[in-house]
Amino acid sequence: MESNSPSEELPALYRAILDRVADLEALGERVEAAQLRSDATAAYSRAWDERARRRLESLLRRAVRPTAEERRRGRTSRAFGRPQRPIATPDR
């Protein structure tokens, strides 16, 4: 199966990360949210190449790990922190 080019995938990856940033902010995890936003913006604002795609994918994988607060509340994945806006990753 042929994968999409980074320029086709980066906007969706970046949007998924920003959705997670909003979830983290809603949980009061402002420091983590700010760091994630900063890292994602740095990767997204550079060349839209394979390296940027890998970096955003790495950030998204890190972001979907549950926080201590989510574990305390019984959530097993950040992706389910806000059901009306689940994290979506591009199909490959």
Quote the CA–CA distance of 13 and 71 in Å, as a whole number. 24
Give me the pLDDT at residue 87, please: 45
Average of per-residue pLDDT values in the chain? 83
Tell me which residue of 58, 33, 31, 32 sits closest to 44, measured CA to CA: 58
Q: Residue 4: which pLDDT band, with cuts at 50, 70 and 90?
A: confident
Quote the CA–CA distance of 89 and 12 in Å, as a whole number. 7
Give me the pLDDT at residue 74, please: 79
